[in-house]
Amino acid sequence: MLYSLTFLVEKLSLLSNFKLFEFKWTDGKRKEVGCKERTTYSHAPLSLQRGDLLEVPRTLFTHFGIYLGDNKVAHLIPDIMPVLTNDKMIIKKVITNKRLIMGCLYKCATVRVDNLEDFVYGSNILVNHMDRKYKAQQPFPNEEVADRAEQLVGAIPYSLLWNNCEHFVTYCRYGSAKSQQTEMFCECLKSIIRDQRSVFLSVLLGMIYIVCFGLAPSTTLPTILIPFTLWMAG
């Protein structure tokens, strides 16, 4: 099972090189705003300040971190290794897909400090782009942002929806943990549930399930309960 999940992540990572899964904000194209927001590239000289909020595109989402200066970035990432060992040298190694997946399943993460190149992983960087999303909340001074990030370094509980890397950086920079990616996912999920075609699709899949595996409580109950739940929630 773990091998299959790892294989899937690796293949999606390859597809991400063709920008098929690049996360986009809902307000359309990203534009530069004033001097706070800067777009830089992994192959270009970077002019970063301690406390800057960094964004880099990943396979299905955007990854976030706080720049600490001296080419170091603090970021929250799922990792099973802190649960398995206290050896800092082992934990410090670059996180593999297997470590990441196991961390997601075990709901364990770590706020770690990596060099900028490992954090970027060949992607483009957006700097302080999120400031325009939080106009009502002024960011803390950069030094305070970096200090808040450094105080959280270490093992931490993880939730894909409620405590991810975006929650970490928004807490450090604005004082409240929020994730627009989570909000967008929940909105998408609600739209699927509200679409009555989901009910008919679930019925069809349930009937196919019964035909393939026979009439039994394990096949009949889901065929009835799932469409009924979707119908009532829609």
Sheet with 108-115: list strands edge to edge: 38-40, 125-127, 53-57, 62-69, 72-78, 108-115, 154-157
Contact 64, 165 (CB under 8 A): yes
Which residue among the candidates 104, 108, 165, 172 is catalytic per the annotation? 165
Contact 121, 65 (CB under 8 A): no
Closest CA to 95 of 117, 110, 84: 110
Is the separation of the CB atoms in 110 and 91 below 8 Å? yes
Q: Judge whether 170 and 208 are in contact, CB under 8 Å.
A: no
Instruction: Please indicate whether residue 108 is annotated as part of the active site.
Output: no
- Residues 98/78, Cβ–Cβ less than 8 Å: no
Spatial CA neighbour of 169 closest among 46, 27, 51: 51
Residues tagged active-site: 165
